[in-house]
Amino acid sequence: MKEKILIVDDDKYISLLLYNFLDDEGYICETAENGLEALEKVSKGSQYDMVLLDFVMPKMNGLEFLAAVREINSKLPVMMISGYRTRENTLEALKLGAIGFIKKPFSLNDVLKNLRLVFNTSRNKKELGPIIPYLKSGSMEFVFKTGDIEPDKVSLYLATHLGEMGFIEGRRISTVALAFNEVLTNAIEHGNLELPVNYFLENPGSEERESVSDLKNERLTDPTYADKNIIVKYLFHNDETEVTIIDEGAGFDISSVVNFLAGDEVSDAEGCGRGLILLKYAVDEVRFNEKGNEVTLCVKTTD
């Protein structure tokens, strides 16, 4: 049975666009014009597998909905989708239980990619075997060619494995999967493929996104870039797990990123995008080598 999605946005064009697209993909969709209408649907017992939620809406905005829905269904996955947000309300949304973000203007394929990653994580969690929960420590190392790696599948495998072992639980599995995917994607695109976007930053507009996408496809067929390695090291035990992602790119200046991750204020992240804020919230520690082409994500076991 396909998942049921509630689309919450006061922009009727956006709602209709998402509804038609996701309906064509086989999902069951409903819409609400604001957070209050969405909350009423959830309160009356409607069961949803995902909520796509705008930030700015009349009557009840996205943050207000997140705060209210926690009292009704604390396990309901909510993906924020909006073009208007500050670093402060991004972090607040994560604290209130949002599992990730999709930025307007968005690609419909980006929306589908994020949904599939979350839903596949959830499905895999439900299909646990009887042996995996007893596995308490170990390590793995993967070496991929840039042209071969599928970051969604790798991220899903790693996060689901942590969930299967009981190291992390609930919505955190999806959030951690999105964090792994963020770093892998940056290692591919801005590390090995050397795409002209600063590390951990979003593309500022749809036209630049398109041009970068064209360049990405071109370089994925060029052995100079496509044959570079991406190394993923996965060390897990019952207290803490480390995922280290290494690319063969030139690296980047890590100073501002390290300062932001070490600080308490999200406003300190001058120029930092949603991916960095997601990392700050989703994992317990982020470490970089001096060159900036090796990132280690530390995830502590859920108590």
Three-state secondary structure of 54-82: CCCCCCCCHHHHHHHHCCCCCCCCEEEEE
User: Among 100-109, 178-187, 213-222, 241-250, which stretch is predicted with the lowest mean pLDDT?
Assistant: 100-109
Q: Which of 103-107, 168-172, 198-202 has the lowest mean pLDDT?
A: 198-202
What is the band of 87 on the pLDDT scale with cuts at 50, 70, 90? Answer: low
Residue 209 — very low, low, confident or very high, per pLDDT cuts 50/70/90?
Answer: low
Rounded-to-integer distance, Cα 71 and Cα 263, Å: 30
User: Who's near 255: CB < 8 A, 6+ residues apart?
Assistant: none
pLDDT > 70: what percent of the chain? 82
- Looking at the chain, the whole-number percentage of residues with pLDDT higher than 90 is 32
Two tokens, residue 46? 């409607």
Burial environment of residue 103 by CB neighbours within 10 A (0 to 12, 13 to 18, 19 or more): middle
Q: Is 251 helix (H, G, I), strand (E, B) or coil?
A: coil
4-106 in CATH: which number? 3.40.50.2300
Residue 44's pLDDT is 87
Is this prediction's pTM over 0.85? Answer: no
Taking residues 54-76, what's their average pLDDT?
Answer: 87
User: pLDDT class for 270, splitting at 50, 70, 90?
Assistant: very low
Select the more confidently predicted residue: 133 or 267.
133
First to last CA, the chain: 33
The residue-averaged pLDDT of 113-139 equals 69
Q: What is the pLDDT of residues 111-120, one digit of tens each?
A: 888 888 778 7
Secondary structure class of 121 (helix, strand, coil) = helix
Asked if 57 and 45 count as a contact pair (C-beta separation under 8 A), the reply is: no
Which tokens in the block code for residue 114? 């994020």
Confidence of residue 273 (pLDDT cuts 50, 70, 90): low
pLDDT (average), residues 129-135: 60
- What is 120-300's CATH number? 3.30.565.10
Q: Sorting pLDDT into bands at 50, 70 and 90, what band is 287?
A: very high
pLDDT tier for residue 296 given thresholds of 50, 70 and 90:
very high
Range from 48-52, 200-204, 241-245 carrying the lowest mean pLDDT: 200-204
Task: Determine which of 55-64, 206-215, 220-229 has the lowest per-residue pLDDT on average.
Answer: 206-215
Per domain, the residue ranges of the chain are 4-106, 120-300
Characterize the bridge pairing of strands 78-82 and 28-32.
unpaired
pLDDT at residue 202 in the model: 45
Residue 198 in this model has a pLDDT that exceeds 60: no
**pLDDT class for 85, splitting at 50, 70, 90?**
low
Most confident residue range from 6-20, 105-119, 163-177: 6-20
